Homo-oligomer: A and B are copies of this chain.
Amino acid sequence: MSDAEPPDSSAPRNPLGLTVVLGRDRPIRLDCGVEMGPVTVGYQTYGTLNADRSNAILMCHALTGDQYVADPHPITGKPGWWNELVGPGRVFDTDRYFLICSNVLGGCMGTTGPKDVNPATGKPWGLSFPVITIGDMVQVQARLLDHLGIDQVFCVVGGSMGGMQVLEWCASYPERVFSAIPIATAARHSAQNIAFNEVGRQAIAADPDWKDGDYLAHGTLPQRGLAVARMAAHITYLSEPALHRKFGRNLQGREAFSYGFEADFQVESYLRHQGSTFVERFDANSYLYITRAMDYFDLAAEHGGILSNAFRGTKTRFCVISFTSDWLFPTPESRAVVHALNAVAANVSFVEVCSDKGHDAFLLDEPVLHATLTGFLDGAAEHRGLPRAKGVSS
């Protein structure tokens, strides 16, 4: 079925991830009109695909995430972004489910993106890489599922931009999605979110080392601009109460103000650290392309201006999740999705998790989130006829 043997939960993992080349014979037609192929897709799997290929969960990563959901990051060595949720008996139970996560199109962790060589020119794509959309990312994921021989996933799940992909999946391939969990997301990027992304892009473009996107040819890296972009974005991932609780006005390793421009405050030091570590693992042009894809996302606009049209006739079971302190993708954005689903009589649960951790709550230790995911997956699994978790009697 596949060029890669999906490891079962007890099998050794492939820490460098898996890779497949897609679209060799049939190029991928992007929303911008460009036909692209071949496209390399970097992905990772956990658990074992069952005999009738009905237990696959597609996990969609966020803007700066990647396929290393539950592996040490190949560059930073840090644990995967949902490390605690993946494994035998865990929320995403590798004894029951076959988990797949692929790096998005335009990314920089193994899937074709602007830092890769354009086979037509022999040079890095840079800004000649076509502008991609959330729909394009999902189309590539659909090709990956074709390759893996999976007609329908049991569930597609993701937070933030990952949640946009979940919604796009449900709209574009409804018959391929048994259940869906969009978390901390929206059916369209708001003006404020576009504005924050634009600040990040302008910070990158302001860096002379960016060289109009052609930095690889010049042997430079726009790390200062990318770090500023990351810092600005990082603030939006947290809540004011979380920042206050975590840092307040505490000074960093000093008793009094320096009366200078060093990082006097812990929050400054933290932000600088976020910026400087990010540039080690992320490509600046990928940041431009992926933020652009988020800004372009508007599921209602793709369906005649009426969001519920995107879900008309859906048989997918939905669990929509938001967080009270998330001001980047606030609860009203999730509620709009729920209302649209209600309007077409979809099967939908909606949980607003009370948390002061802001947008990043979906990546953090939030017991209510984890309980919600487990409960919804258990119920959906029963409907799908998947076996119960080990140790749970009927």
Instruction: List which A141-196 residues lie within 8 A (CB) of chain B.
Output: 188-192, 194-196
Residue numbers in B under 8 Å from A205 (CB-CB): 261
A232 at the interface (CB under 8 A from B): yes
A217-258 to B contact mask, C-beta < 8 Å, 1/0: 000000011011001100100101001101111000000011
A36-49 to B contact mask, C-beta < 8 Å, 1/0: 00000000000000
Instruction: List which A270-298 residues lie within 8 A (CB) of chain B.
Output: 271-272, 275, 288, 292, 295-296, 298
From B195, B228, B292, contact of A235 by CB (8 A): B195
A208 at the interface (CB under 8 A from B): yes
A288 to B275, CA, bound (A): 19
Q: Is A203 a contact partner of B189 (Cβ separation < 8 A)?
A: no
A392 to B275, CA, bound (A): 60
Q: Identify the closest chain B residue to A228 (Cβ).
A: B203
Q: Is B194 a contact partner of A267 (Cβ separation < 8 A)?
A: yes
Q: Is B188 a contact partner of A249 (Cβ separation < 8 A)?
A: yes
Q: Is B192 a contact partner of A243 (Cβ separation < 8 A)?
A: yes
Size of chain A's interface in residues, with CB distance under 8 A? 59
Contact A206/B224 with A188-B249, A199-B271, A259-B130 known, Cβ cut-off 8 Å = yes
Contact A127/B261 with A206-B228, A232-B199, A267-B194 known, Cβ cut-off 8 Å = yes
A260 to B293, CA, bound (A): 11
Instruction: For residue A28, give the distance in angstroms from its CB to the closest CB of chain B.
Output: 15
A272 to B238, CA, bound (A): 25
From B31, B188, B202, B327, contact of A231 by CB (8 A): B202
From B127, B259, B296, contact of A257 by CB (8 A): B296
A198 at the interface (CB under 8 A from B): yes
Residue numbers in B under 8 Å from A32 (CB-CB): 257, 259
Instruction: For residue A57, give the distance in angstroms from its CB to the closest CB of chain B.
Output: 31
Residue with the highest number of chain B CB atoms closer than 10 Å, among A131, A195, A301: A195
A82 at the interface (CB under 8 A from B): no
Contact A225/B249 with A199-B235, A267-B194 known, Cβ cut-off 8 Å = no
A356 at the interface (CB under 8 A from B): no
A21 to B255, CA, bound (A): 35
Q: Is B195 a contact partner of A243 (Cβ separation < 8 A)?
A: yes
Q: Is B191 a contact partner of A240 (Cβ separation < 8 A)?
A: yes
Instruction: For residue A58, give the distance in angstroms from its CB to the closest CB of chain B.
Output: 26
Residue numbers in B under 8 Å from A292 (CB-CB): 261
Q: Identify the closest chain B residue to A270 (Cβ).
A: B195
A295 to B31, CA, bound (A): 45
A275 to B206, CA, bound (A): 12
Residue with the highest number of chain B CB atoms closer than 10 Å, among A228, A257, A271, A292: A228
Q: Is B127 a contact partner of A249 (Cβ separation < 8 A)?
A: no
A261 to B130, CA, bound (A): 11
Q: Identify the closest chain B residue to A298 (Cβ).
A: B249
Instruction: For residue A74, give the distance in angstroms from its CB to the closest CB of chain B.
Output: 27
Given contacts A190-B249, A203-B206, 12 further A-B contacts (CB under 8 A): A131-B257, A131-B259, A191-B247, A192-B235, A194-B265, A195-B271, A199-B232, A202-B228, A202-B272, A202-B275, A203-B228, A261-B288
Among all A-B residue pairs, the 9 with the closest Cβ atoms: A206-B224, A32-B259, A131-B259, A191-B243, A192-B240, A198-B268, A191-B267, A191-B247, A203-B228
